[in-house]
Amino acid sequence: MTKKEKVAFVIKTLKELYPEIPIPLDHSDPYTLLIAVLLSAQSTDVRVNQITPLLFAKAKTPEAMVKLSVEEIREIIRPVGLSPMKSKGIYGLSHILLEKYEGKVPKTYEELEELPAVGHKTAAVVMAQAFGIPTFPVDTHIHRLMYRWGFSNGKNVVQTEKDAKRLFPEVLWNDLHLQIIWYGREYSPARGWNIEKDIITRTIGRKSVLKGFNS
């Protein structure tokens, strides 16, 4: 297969597997999505979805969030990990949204990445899922699969994002981002990987990845 044919195979297979694409993090608007994505750093979506209802029952707007103390936020979100940094980030960005953006979540990388505890990936997820702006957020699943499929060198997520945006049509970026995440979880995990279930890697994967399975 040529690389173009491999890309087409990935798009076709993912569309067949995930014609309807669920959003992993529960949210009701751009602000609650921003908070949920921030909380998901080095945690699981399942854990975050267990904690956000508790947090949002107390505060689901910037106005309500700044009425809580950092300590109160930290106590609620403690189970997701990194609670000292995340609680300060949630409190701080809520203040900034009120002071600078009339309580609304901005829509650009530059504005989002200026908020406390908001990095490039968090900004990209919010832009894609809250506003429909084409981005290609790279998490561990996408980074792993882009390497396994021979689409990126695995060097770092910055390079992986560049390669993904170069290979896939922009109109599909937001869907593919989620489809690849679900595929990675269900068919091509980091641990307990069963190559027989992983049709995409089995079909187009790089030789160095498949070597151990084919020997």
* Structural domains present in the chain: 3-21+137-214 (1.10.1670.10), 30-131 (1.10.340.30)
Rounded mean pLDDT, 135-150: 96
The helix-helix angle for 140-148 and 157-167 (nearest 10°) equals: 60
In this predicted model, what pLDDT tens digit does every residue of 47-71 receive, in sequence order?
999 999 999 999 999 999 999 999 9
193 to each of 148, 155, 210, how far by Cα in Å?
12, 21, 12
Query: Structure pTM?
Result: 0.91
Confidence of residue 212 (pLDDT cuts 50, 70, 90): low
Q: Which residues are catalytic?
A: 121, 139
Q: What one-character-per-residue DSSP string does 88-110 give? A: HHHHHHHHHHHHHHTTPPP-SHH
In this predicted model, what pLDDT tens digit does every residue of 149-199 receive, in sequence order?
999 998 999 999 999 999 999 999 999 999 999 999 999 999 999 999 999
Q: What is the pLDDT of residue 210?
A: 86
No. of helices (H) and no. of strands (E), the chain = 13, 0
Confidence of residue 209 (pLDDT cuts 50, 70, 90): confident
First vs last C-alpha separation in the chain? 21
Q: What is the pLDDT of residue 213?
A: 66
